[in-house]
Structure 1
Amino acid sequence: MSSKNQAANGKASHNNEREFGGTLGAVCIPIFLPLTVLFLVCVSRSPEAAVLQWPPPLPTIDQLWDPLAALLILSWISLHAVLYLLPFGKVSEGLVLRDGARLKYPINGFHSLCISGVLLILLLMLKAPVGSLYELTLPLAACAIGVSFMLSVFLYFRSFLAPPHALALGGTTGNPLYDFFIGRELNPRIGHFDLKFFCELRPGLIGWVVINLGMLMKEVELQGSPSLAMILVNSFQLLYVADALWNEEAVLTTMDIVHDGFGFMLVFGDLAWVPFTYGLQAAFLVLHPQALSPLGAAAIITLNGIGYYIFRKSNSQKNQFRRNPAHPSVARLETIATATGKRLLVSGWWGLVRHPNYLGDLLMALAWSLPCGFSHLLPYFYLIYFTVLLIHREARDERHCRAKYGLAWETYCRHVPYRILPYIY
Structure 2
Amino acid sequence: MLAVQKPVWRVAWQNSLVSGNFYCKSMSWSVGANVLVAISEQDDLAAGKVLHENKSGTVRIQLNDGSKITVGPDEVFENPNKTPKSRQRSRSPARKSTGSRGRSPGRGRPPKSEKSPARAASAGRKRSTSRGRKPATTPKTKEEKPEKASTAKKTAEKKKQEEPTGTPTMTLRVRRWNKDENIDSDTDETTKPKKKNKDDSTSKPQLEWGGTIGVVLMFAVFVGVTFGALLMIRSVAVPPKASSNVTEPQGSFNLRGLDWRKLVAQWPKWDWNAVGLLLGFWAFELLLALLPVGPIENALPGSTGPRQYRRNGFLAAVVTVSGILGLRRYGYALTKAQLLAYLPVWAATGTIVGFILAIYFCWKGYRVPVSQQNPAVASAGKIYTFFIGKQINPVIRTFHVKMFFFKLGLTSPVVLALLIYLNFEPTGYAQLVSLALPCIYLLDALLFEQTFLTSFGIQTEGFGFFFTSMIGIYPALAMVNPLYVITAKVEMQTWCVVFHCLVFTVGLLINRLSCNQKYRFRKNPMDPAVSHLETLPTARGKKLLVSGWWGLVRHPNYFGDILMQMSFGLNAGFGHALPWFLPATTILMFFQRVGQDHRHCQAKYGDAWSRYCEKVKQRVLPKIY
Q: TM exceeds 0.5? A: yes
3-state SS of 2:325 partner: helix
Paired residues for 1:305-320 under 5 Å: 305-320=505-520
Letter in 2 for 1:16: P
**C-alpha root-mean-square deviation of aligned residues, in Å?**
2.6
**Deviation sequence 1:176-227 (CA, Å, 0-9, x none):** 21221111122222232222111012x221111111222223322xxxx543
Q: CA contact under 8 A between 1:215 and 1:286: conserved in structure 2? A: no
Q: CA contact under 8 A between 2:535 and 2:546: conserved in structure 1? A: yes
3-state SS of 2:208 partner: coil
5+ residue gaps, structure 1: none
3-state SS of 1:63 partner: coil
| Runs ≥4 residues deviating over 4 A | 9-14, 50-58
Counterpart of 2:403 in structure 1 is 197
Q: CA 1:336–1:41 in 2, change beyond 3 Å: closer, same or farther?
A: same
Q: CA contact under 8 A between 1:134 and 1:215: conserved in structure 2? A: no
Q: CA contact under 8 A between 1:95 and 1:258: conserved in structure 2? A: no
Q: CA 1:145–1:9 in 2, change beyond 3 Å: closer, same or farther?
A: farther
Q: CA contact under 8 A between 2:205 and 2:379: conserved in structure 1? A: no
Percent of aligned positions that are identical: 30
Q: CA 1:52–1:104 in 2, change beyond 3 Å: closer, same or farther?
A: farther
Return the structure number with greater relative CO, CA threshold 8 A, min gap 6. Answer: 1
Counterpart of 1:359 in structure 2 is 559
Q: Give the distance between the partners of 2:257 and 2:402, measured in 1 at CA.
A: 37
Paired residues for 1:109-258 under 5 Å: 109-127=313-331, 128-129=333-334, 131=336, 132-173=338-379, 175-201=381-407, 203-220=408-425, 226-258=427-459
Moved more, 79-88 or 279-288: 279-288
Q: CA contact under 8 A between 1:171 and 1:185: conserved in structure 2? A: no
**Deviation sequence 1:265-311 (CA, Å, 0-9, x none):** 21123x13321222221111231112233322222222211111111
Q: CA contact under 8 A between 2:297 and 2:311: conserved in structure 1? A: yes
Q: How many pairs align?
A: 418
Q: CA 1:260–1:52 in 2, change beyond 3 Å: closer, same or farther?
A: farther
Letter in 2 for 1:36: V
**1:56, CA displacement in angstroms?**
4.5
Letter in 2 for 1:146: I
Moved more, 322-331 or 291-300: 291-300
The answer on 1:349 being equivalent to 2:549 is: yes
Q: CA 1:94–1:36 in 2, change beyond 3 Å: closer, same or farther?
A: farther
* Structure with max Cα Rg: 2
Q: TM-score, normalized by length of structure 2?
A: 0.62
Equivalent residue in structure 2 for 1:3, among 1, 7, 10: 7
Equivalent residue in structure 2 for 1:267, among 449, 452, 468: 468
Q: Give the distance between the partners of 2:504 and 2:218, measured in 1 at CA.
A: 31
Counterpart of 1:295 in structure 2 is 495
Letter in 1 for 2:564: M
Counterpart of 2:308 in structure 1 is 104
Q: CA contact under 8 A between 2:558 and 2:620: conserved in structure 1? A: yes
Q: CA contact under 8 A between 1:354 and 1:420: conserved in structure 2? A: yes
**Deviation sequence 1:284-341 (CA, Å, 0-9, x none):** 1231112233322222222211111111111111111111111111111122111111
Q: CA contact under 8 A between 1:166 and 1:185: conserved in structure 2? A: yes
3-state SS of 1:170 partner: helix
3-state SS of 1:339 partner: coil
Q: Give the distance between the partners of 1:397 and 1:51, measured in 2 at CA.
A: 37
Q: Give the distance between the partners of 2:484 and 2:418, measured in 1 at CA.
A: 13
3-state SS of 1:21 partner: helix
Paired residues for 1:402-417 under 5 Å: 402-417=602-617
**Deviation sequence 1:381-403 (CA, Å, 0-9, x none):** 22211110100011111111111
Paired residues for 1:374-413 under 5 Å: 374-413=574-613
Q: CA contact under 8 A between 1:95 and 1:102: conserved in structure 2? A: no
5+ residue gaps, structure 2: 10-39, 45-195, 237-250
Q: Which protein is richer in helix relative to its size?
A: 1
Q: Give the distance between the partners of 1:371 and 1:390, measured in 2 at CA.
A: 21
Q: CA 1:416–1:7 in 2, change beyond 3 Å: closer, same or farther?
A: same
Q: CA 1:258–1:53 in 2, change beyond 3 Å: closer, same or farther?
A: farther
Q: CA contact under 8 A between 1:50 and 1:378: conserved in structure 2? A: no
3-state SS of 2:554 partner: coil
Q: Give the distance between the partners of 1:389 and 1:55, measured in 2 at CA.
A: 31
Q: Which protein is richer in strand relative to its size?
A: 2
Q: TM-score, normalized by length of structure 1?
A: 0.90
Q: CA contact under 8 A between 1:130 and 1:214: conserved in structure 2? A: no
Letter in 1 for 2:475: P
Q: Give the distance between the partners of 1:341 and 1:31, measured in 2 at CA.
A: 43
3-state SS of 1:418 partner: coil
Q: CA 1:244–1:103 in 2, change beyond 3 Å: closer, same or farther?
A: same
Q: CA contact under 8 A between 1:218 and 1:286: conserved in structure 2? A: no
**Deviation sequence 1:27-55 (CA, Å, 0-9, x none):** 43444432232123234444433567665
Q: CA 1:2–1:18 in 2, change beyond 3 Å: closer, same or farther?
A: farther
**1:171, CA displacement in angstroms?**
3.4
Q: CA contact under 8 A between 2:429 and 2:494: conserved in structure 1? A: no
Q: CA 1:260–1:371 in 2, change beyond 3 Å: closer, same or farther?
A: closer
**1:95, CA displacement in angstroms?**
3.5
3-state SS of 1:382 partner: helix
Q: CA 1:26–1:368 in 2, change beyond 3 Å: closer, same or farther?
A: closer
Counterpart of 1:28 in structure 2 is 217
Q: CA contact under 8 A between 1:217 and 1:226: conserved in structure 2? A: no
Q: Give the distance between the partners of 1:149 and 1:101, measured in 2 at CA.
A: 22
Q: Give the distance between the partners of 1:101 and 1:369, measured in 2 at CA.
A: 35
Q: Give the distance between the partners of 1:26 and 1:382, measured in 2 at CA.
A: 17
3-state SS of 1:210 partner: helix
Equivalent residue in structure 2 for 1:16, among 205, 217, 220: 205
Q: CA contact under 8 A between 1:303 and 1:367: conserved in structure 2? A: yes
Q: CA contact under 8 A between 2:354 and 2:468: conserved in structure 1? A: yes
Moved more, 17-26 or 104-113: 17-26
